[in-house]
Structure 1
Amino acid sequence: MLDRRYKTLAVLATTLSYTKAAQHLFITQPAVSQQIRSLEQELAVKLVSKNGTRIHLTAKGTQLVQYINKVSLENDHILQQIKTDSEEQTIKIGSTYSLSIFLLPELIESLLSTTTKIQTMIDNTDEILEALRQGKIEFGIVEGNFDKNEFDAITIRNEEFIGVTSSRNPLLNQNDITIDNLLQAMLLIRESGSGTRAIFSNWLATKNYQINDFNEQIEVANPTTIIQLLKDNVGISFMYKSLITEELKQHILVELTIEGFKISHPINLIFLKNSYFTEKYKLIAEKLDK
């Protein structure tokens, strides 16, 4: 267990104000200052720096706060496990929008043998990562990029990522579809922070292009809405093949055969670095691995 000085530093990192930190902790401002100085002296490292009236954490201070937050979250999780029977525990999981359609139901079904108390959060990759940092969820399933120094991950599977459009799109009349052909089409793209958007954006960058090079764009946060627009013959998009298995079988939607485009992307179960519950998460991931 960490002593109260570490908690004070974590609160100060959030408020960036000695006064607000004191109010939050119900202690005096001098007490906050004294605790921070005491911690700096003990560790022999500068944790907080001041520039005029503004304060900010040093690199070492930021590193320590990340550790404090992780320890606090793990501590709360372990105490909950001790206090309650395993059947009564609530598992809190996060999922990106795309994965919530074809992988989250499978995940929930695999957990029903151990608990019937499950809470889910569905958002883009950036928000799932932030929820992990704040302890709002225990683990998440994402396809986007993340900091491997901050999070551990178990790859569940690799999913095929494809370009797709309506079977009625005149673009399909092209013998060889190039990026230049695509740029003339209406692009249906996910919002910033989406793992799906990041995958496509990264591929474009390897070809020296970017999303803004498309003449027409519609940004949509929900993949289900994108699929419906595609079925209505509105534009092109890029997504996981598993999202549109039935539409492809029925030839309502068609995979775009694009020169130089072939992507298989890992789907990861992610959690805080060096988590006490790593083995538990490995068992969950194994049930989803196909």
Structure 2
Amino acid sequence: MLDKRYKTFMVLNETGSFTQTAQMLFITQPAVSQQISSLEAELELQLVIRDHGKISLTKEGIKLAVFAKQIDLESHKIVESLKNGIEHLKMGCTLSLSSTILPKFIQKLSSKANIITTKINNTQHILQNIRDGKVDFGLVEGNFDKEEFDSFFVQRENFICIASNNITGSTIEDLFSQTLLLRENGSGSRAIFENWLATQNYRVTDFKESMEIASPSAIIEFLKQNQGISFMYESLVTDELRSNQLKKLDLQGFHVEHPISLVFLKNSYFKDTYRKISESI
């Protein structure tokens, strides 16, 4: 468990103020300053830059704050698992995977661990929830910083162009006159599509019109009403393709697969637990 100096330092990192840190911890401002100075002396590192009443963390300080936060979060989880004899897992999942992989995942996992929370949001929100300790791990399809997060591969998903039945086209250029339905910024699906567009030297703004819609299911309903094109995982529209309510457009040069990953904080004590979970899917 971390001593009080590290906890004070974590709060200081969040507030950026000795005064606010003291108020949050119900101690005096000199006590905060003394604890930080003691920590710096023990580690023989400068953690905080003091400049005319303003403070900022050194690069070493930033790294220590991130590490201390992870240790604090995981130490409480370790004690909880030792007391209860079972690991209670808080899980995140992106919207695109919530209706396809998530139900199967929870069903297989139910006999191995206790899922007490499942948060569903876009990739960037899930990653932030992992940082903040709101979830222990997440199922994501978007990109993530491999210096900050570790992961286990779960499976690959086909990423396709899907369209209303009245739309035709064999190249991305053929579709620029259509309305593009796409997810919001922060969505893994949007990032995958925008990254591919960039490799072709195009942008979303090359489409005549685009609409941001946060829900994959809502995008599918718009498409069924003959309102545009979109790019998403094939597993999301399996039934619609089979029943000919929508169609897949095979575009020249567009062949995209993307890995689904189980993502968690780097150097996590529970890495082996997450490995076993990923292997169970």
TM-score range, shorter chain: over 0.9
Give unmatched runs, 5+ long, in structure 2.
none
Correspondent of 1:276 among 265, 269, 276: 269
1:31 aligned residue: 31
Q: Distance in 1 between matches of 2:131 and 2:261?
A: 17
1:232 aligned residue: 225
Report the count of equivalent residues.
Answer: 281
DSSP 3-state at the match of 1:161: strand
2:75 aligned residue: 75
Partner amino acid, structure 2, of 1:47 = L
1:205 aligned residue: 198
DSSP 3-state at the match of 2:99: helix
2:20 aligned residue: 20
Q: Distance in 2 between matches of 1:188 and 1:12?
A: 42
Partner amino acid, structure 2, of 1:5 = R
2:145 aligned residue: 147
Q: What is the CA distance between 1:265 and its match in structure 2?
A: 0.2
What does residue range 162-177 of structure 1 map to in structure 2 within 5 Å? 162-169=160-167, 172=168, 174=169, 177=170
Note if contact 2:90-2:137 (Cα within 8 Å) is conserved in structure 1.
Answer: yes
CA-to-partner distance for each residue in 1:180-212, whole Å, 9 max, x for gaps?
222211000100000000000000111111112
Q: Which moved more, 1:24-33 or 1:48-57?
A: 48-57
CA-to-partner distance for each residue in 1:119-162, whole Å, 9 max, x for gaps?
11000011101110111111100001111111110010111000
CA-to-partner distance for each residue in 1:216-258, whole Å, 9 max, x for gaps?
0110011000011111111100000010111111111111111
Q: Which moved more, 1:178-187 or 1:228-237?
A: 178-187
Q: What is the CA distance between 1:117 and its match in structure 2?
A: 4.8
2:91 aligned residue: 93
Note if contact 2:122-2:187 (Cα within 8 Å) is conserved in structure 1.
Answer: yes
Give unmatched runs, 5+ long, in structure 1.
none
1:254 aligned residue: 247
2:211 aligned residue: 218
1:136 aligned residue: 134
Compute the TM-score of the two structures, normalised by the length of structure 1.
Answer: 0.93
CA-to-partner distance for each residue in 1:155-181, whole Å, 9 max, x for gaps?
101110000001222xx1x4xx22222
Note if contact 2:91-2:115 (Cα within 8 Å) is conserved in structure 1.
Answer: no
**Is 2:35 the partner of 1:42?**
no
Compute the TM-score of the two structures, normalised by the length of structure 2.
Answer: 0.96
Q: What is the CA distance between 1:115 and its match in structure 2?
A: 4.5
Q: Distance in 2 between matches of 1:54 and 1:231?
A: 56
2:56 aligned residue: 56
Q: What is the CA distance between 1:42 and its match in structure 2?
A: 1.9
Q: What is the CA distance between 1:116 and its match in structure 2?
A: 5.4
DSSP 3-state at the match of 2:185: coil
Partner amino acid, structure 1, of 2:70 = K
1:287 aligned residue: 280
User: Aligned pair in 2 of structure 1 residues 262, 51: CA closer, same or farther (>3 Å)?
Assistant: farther
Q: Distance in 1 between matches of 2:205 and 2:56?
A: 35
Q: Distance in 2 between matches of 1:228 and 1:52?
A: 57
DSSP 3-state at the match of 2:46: coil
Note if contact 2:152-2:275 (Cα within 8 Å) is conserved in structure 1.
Answer: yes
2:184 aligned residue: 191
DSSP 3-state at the match of 1:145: coil
Q: Distance in 2 between matches of 1:208 and 1:47?
A: 43
User: Aligned pair in 2 of structure 1 residues 52, 232: CA closer, same or farther (>3 Å)?
Assistant: farther
Compute the RMSD of aligned alpha carbons.
Answer: 1.3
1:126 aligned residue: 124
